Chain A
């Protein structure tokens, strides 16, 4: 009787353990919140240092003027050309990366035998692991002289150079996310299509890809985010000329992007006291942050909608 009692905890002991458990749990919650809420801190501090710029009511000029003379007196902060540069480089990169990306994803999910896939996947991961500055170095030292000599570009560092490298960097993301989506489409779908007499290409193009389209869209969104947020490659390879290329589809002209401007100008801007130049760079950072935030939301929305549709039958 006495021995059995020792296995049952006294009431006091039980209460003590309960308190410790809830204390531990709240500690875990606190640490998790710190990790998760960091993103709110980022938004707050970027916005805090960006708002003094917008207070000056230079919003229209900021987005649409192309007069970027941050060090003149009085300084002019027309970032229209820089926004255009970011847009040109990002869109070109994504346009270059999406077709081979989806084809490669199809190849990985449906064409290659298991053993080969085990080799190919790490290789694609390697492509993603190479640091961006090394890609930038490649663009500057290998690709730029090549373009200058063989493509008739007046300068090897231009929008096309940066976009090509960005496409390479966005490829692994696009491939792996689309491949997941294609695999999630399921075996039954494919077998049903084959049973109806469709060839492999028809099955993939008309059945599998349409059913995986939401995953592919989020892959493309992730690719856009990767290309838009990339700094070192565009800084080194895009030529950094704050002007809209004329004509606008001339990709062999140098352009300047938001990220490259932030990275390049922060050294000149007065980092401590916070000059107008400092604030305008934060305003650009805020724009980047908002766009990536929107892309994220859009991605989540697409995935949720698809999930609902599937659940609804």
Chain B
């Protein structure tokens, strides 16, 4: 082969290797980017007047008098629409039958769309579901819903595949009383909704209202914390003791290699099998709780993270310089005392790194808690109830509200908010681990 070809091939190889790294970076940004950007929208968004009314009624937050004054003004603005609607209803009876037949279904759609956009007409009986009591609470949702007032969604089947066509409703109602509402909704939507930049940090701690239509993710966050902490409470003592045994006491032989390959196998068990085991063993055999519970979930997750804890602790203990141990033994300390007062404190940062990373893993796992701990809808679990009750958790409920929820499209912001919160918790724990590790390596160097 000629030298130039070889050089060219070399360059191509380097380029493809760099681009593989670039690809991974790109994928990371691609996945996390939209989740963070849109997830942020659950905390900071344009809240409408209906949002502020909802907050006052459901959570007693906000300035009641100022809101009352604003609500009066908005009511005046909205009155035009309601008058137009009722005027048109009267007009409808007087229309010739053909025209009436044409307009009536369309009018019903408009009325429904208005009710969804602005909430029920003042004075009308309140609907049972909180989501119908208020108009759109978020400005982005309000703009979307306003489109339903302005346009009729029809399907065009003239091509091979059906295509969605948005047909303006205005021409249809030309010359009727209803025609007045379209320009208002089109241009003066801001006056009707009064959007204002709203910061809602309580999203993290508030309870959910009406299947996550309003409110926050407090119960889920709490459940995730219980499960992750509980799993670590069980896994850390077991894991650290096992690591001490493996590193300091065990003698090479069949027993040791068997135990080691057991730990390796445990690390490779699929997470959903842990869930099955938790169900079959902790719940159906040991009966640690009458059904799903935080305890059963934490036990299952503890098994899942156990190999990671053992490995990290072993590495940390092995990394303690031999001289530490020898100095302690030379001073007359016993073996156990040496481990307890010299080895473990020196290995602590490394062990902590492993613990923190495992905690992130436990917080993010879903499959093991499906059958053992997680429930789709549930109230905040109190610390006294963890042994008996199941809990919502961020990971499971994220699955649940983006697949099984009855109105998946309506609560995208909650889904993104939940995903972003979960990622943030996990990445914060990982960042903490990286910081601990950096400090340790600096200490060992210095």
> Chain A interface: which of B48-56, B150-158, B398-406?
B398-406
> Chain A interface: which of B14-22, B70-78, B131-139?
B14-22
Q: Are B17 and A103 in contact (CB under 8 A)?
A: yes
Q: Which residues of A contact B21 (CB under 8 A)?
A: 104, 107-108, 112, 120
In the bound assembly, the distance between CA atoms of A220 and B264 in angstroms comes to 16
Q: Which residues of A contact B250 (CB under 8 A)?
A: 32
In the bound assembly, the distance between CA atoms of A271 and B271 in angstroms comes to 18
Q: Are B402 and A285 in contact (CB under 8 A)?
A: no
Does A59 make an interface contact (CB < 8 A)? no
In the bound assembly, the distance between CA atoms of A49 and B238 in angstroms comes to 27
Return the contact of A104 from the options B20, B31, B284 (Cβ within 8 A). Answer: B20
Q: Which residues of B contact A17 (CB under 8 A)?
A: 334
Closest A residue by C-beta to B28: A127
Q: Are A28 and B430 in contact (CB under 8 A)?
A: no
Q: Which residues of A contact B370 (CB under 8 A)?
A: 263, 266-267
Q: Are B399 and A133 in contact (CB under 8 A)?
A: yes
> Chain B interface: which of A66-74, A77-85, A134-142, A184-192?
A134-142
With A21-B335, A35-B239, A200-B13 already in contact, the answer to whether A134 and B272 are too (CB < 8 A) is no
For window 261-306 of A, CB contacts with B under 8 Å fall at 262-263, 266-267, 271-272, 281-282, 285, 288-289, 292-293, 295-296, 300
Q: Are B398 and A271 in contact (CB under 8 A)?
A: no
Does B241 make an interface contact (CB < 8 A)? yes
Return the contact of B360 from the options A104, A129, A281 (Cβ within 8 A). Answer: A129
Q: Are A131 and B276 in contact (CB under 8 A)?
A: no
Closest B residue by C-beta to A293: B265
Q: Are A42 and B277 in contact (CB under 8 A)?
A: yes
With A31-B238, A134-B35, A266-B371 already in contact, the answer to whether A289 and B273 are too (CB < 8 A) is yes
Return the contact of B279 from the options A101, A129, A266 (Cβ within 8 A). Answer: A266
Does B415 make an interface contact (CB < 8 A)? yes
Does B110 make an interface contact (CB < 8 A)? no
Q: Are A107 and B249 in contact (CB under 8 A)?
A: no
Return the contact of A38 from the options B9, B28, B266 (Cβ within 8 A). Answer: B266
With A107-B20, A123-B25 already in contact, the answer to whether A36 and B268 are too (CB < 8 A) is no
Interface size class of B (residues with CB under 8 A): 35 or more
Closest B residue by C-beta to A141: B402
Does B144 make an interface contact (CB < 8 A)? no
Q: Are A31 and B242 in contact (CB under 8 A)?
A: yes
Q: Which residues of B contact A15 (CB under 8 A)?
A: none
Closest beta carbon of chain A to B411's beta carbon, Å: 12
Q: Are B264 and A300 in contact (CB under 8 A)?
A: yes
With A125-B430, A202-B6 already in contact, the answer to whether A300 and B271 are too (CB < 8 A) is no
Closest B residue by C-beta to A225: B268
User: Scoring A residues 218 to 230 as 1 if CB is less than 8 Å from chain B, else 0, what string do you get?
Assistant: 0000000100111
Closest beta carbon of chain B to A287's beta carbon, Å: 10
Q: Which residues of B contact A107 (CB under 8 A)?
A: 17-18, 20-21
In the bound assembly, the distance between CA atoms of A104 and B271 in angstroms comes to 27
Q: Are B24 and A205 in contact (CB under 8 A)?
A: no
Q: Are A48 and B280 in contact (CB under 8 A)?
A: yes
Closest B residue by C-beta to A222: B268
Return the contact of A100 from the options B10, B20, B275 (Cβ within 8 A). Answer: B20
Does B245 make an interface contact (CB < 8 A)? yes
Does B263 make an interface contact (CB < 8 A)? yes
In the bound assembly, the distance between CA atoms of A265 and B265 in angstroms comes to 26
Q: Which residues of B contact A42 (CB under 8 A)?
A: 266, 269, 273-274, 277, 281, 303
Q: Which residues of A contact B403 (CB under 8 A)?
A: 140, 236
User: Scoring B residues 305 to 325 as 1 if CB is less than 8 Å from chain A, else 0, what string do you get?
Assistant: 010001000000000000000
How many A-B pairs with Cβ below 8 Å?
A: 257
Q: Are A32 and B276 in contact (CB under 8 A)?
A: no
Q: Are A199 and B9 in contact (CB under 8 A)?
A: yes
With A28-B244, A48-B280, A285-B272 already in contact, the answer to whether A232 and B18 are too (CB < 8 A) is no
With A21-B334, A126-B28, A129-B430 already in contact, the answer to whether A199 and B10 are too (CB < 8 A) is yes
Q: Which residues of A contact B17 (CB under 8 A)?
A: 103-104, 106-107, 111
Q: Are A292 and B269 in contact (CB under 8 A)?
A: yes
Return the contact of B395 from the options A112, A131, A259, A288 (Cβ within 8 A). Answer: A131
Does B364 make an interface contact (CB < 8 A)? yes
Q: Are A263 and B20 in contact (CB under 8 A)?
A: no
Q: Are B310 and A142 in contact (CB under 8 A)?
A: no
Does A168 make an interface contact (CB < 8 A)? yes
Closest beta carbon of chain B to A289's beta carbon, Å: 5
Q: Are B13 and A201 in contact (CB under 8 A)?
A: yes
Q: Are B10 and A124 in contact (CB under 8 A)?
A: no
Q: Which residues of A contact B271 (CB under 8 A)?
A: 132, 229-231
> Chain A interface: which of B59-67, B85-93, B421-429?
B421-429
Q: Which residues of A contact B284 (CB under 8 A)?
A: 271-272
Does B165 make an interface contact (CB < 8 A)? no
Does A19 make an interface contact (CB < 8 A)? no
Return the contact of B28 from the options A25, A46, A123, A200 (Cβ within 8 A). Answer: A123
Closest beta carbon of chain B to A201's beta carbon, Å: 4
For window 259-311 of B, CB contacts with A under 8 Å fall at 259-266, 268-277, 279-281, 283-285, 303, 306, 310
Does A249 make an interface contact (CB < 8 A)? no
Closest beta carbon of chain B to A17's beta carbon, Å: 7
Q: Are B415 and A137 in contact (CB under 8 A)?
A: yes
Q: Which residues of B contact A168 (CB under 8 A)?
A: 27, 31
Q: Are B364 and A131 in contact (CB under 8 A)?
A: yes
Q: Which residues of A contact B422 (CB under 8 A)?
A: 131, 133-134
Return the contact of B427 from the options A38, A126, A137, A228 (Cβ within 8 A). Answer: A126
Return the contact of A138 from the options B7, B31, B395, B426 (Cβ within 8 A). Answer: B31
In the bound assembly, the distance between CA atoms of A263 and B242 in angstroms comes to 31
Q: Which residues of B contact A123 (CB under 8 A)?
A: 24-25, 28
With A29-B245, A104-B21 already in contact, the answer to whether A131 and B265 are too (CB < 8 A) is no
Closest B residue by C-beta to A167: B27
Q: Are B419 and A134 in contact (CB under 8 A)?
A: yes
Does A10 make an interface contact (CB < 8 A)? no
Q: Are A39 and B269 in contact (CB under 8 A)?
A: yes
Return the contact of B402 from the options A49, A101, A137 (Cβ within 8 A). Answer: A137
4 closest Cβ pairs, A-B complex = A229-B270, A131-B364, A201-B13, A103-B20
Known: A36-B258, A231-B366. 9 other contacts (CB 8 A): A39-B262, A42-B303, A104-B23, A106-B17, A127-B27, A201-B10, A205-B13, A259-B270, A300-B261
- Would you give 26 A-B contacts (Cβ < 8 Å), ordered by A? A31-B242, A32-B250, A32-B259, A34-B238, A35-B238, A36-B260, A38-B303, A40-B262, A48-B280, A103-B19, A107-B17, A107-B18, A125-B434, A129-B357, A129-B360, A129-B361, A130-B423, A132-B364, A137-B398, A168-B27, A201-B9, A231-B366, A262-B276, A263-B370, A267-B370, A292-B268
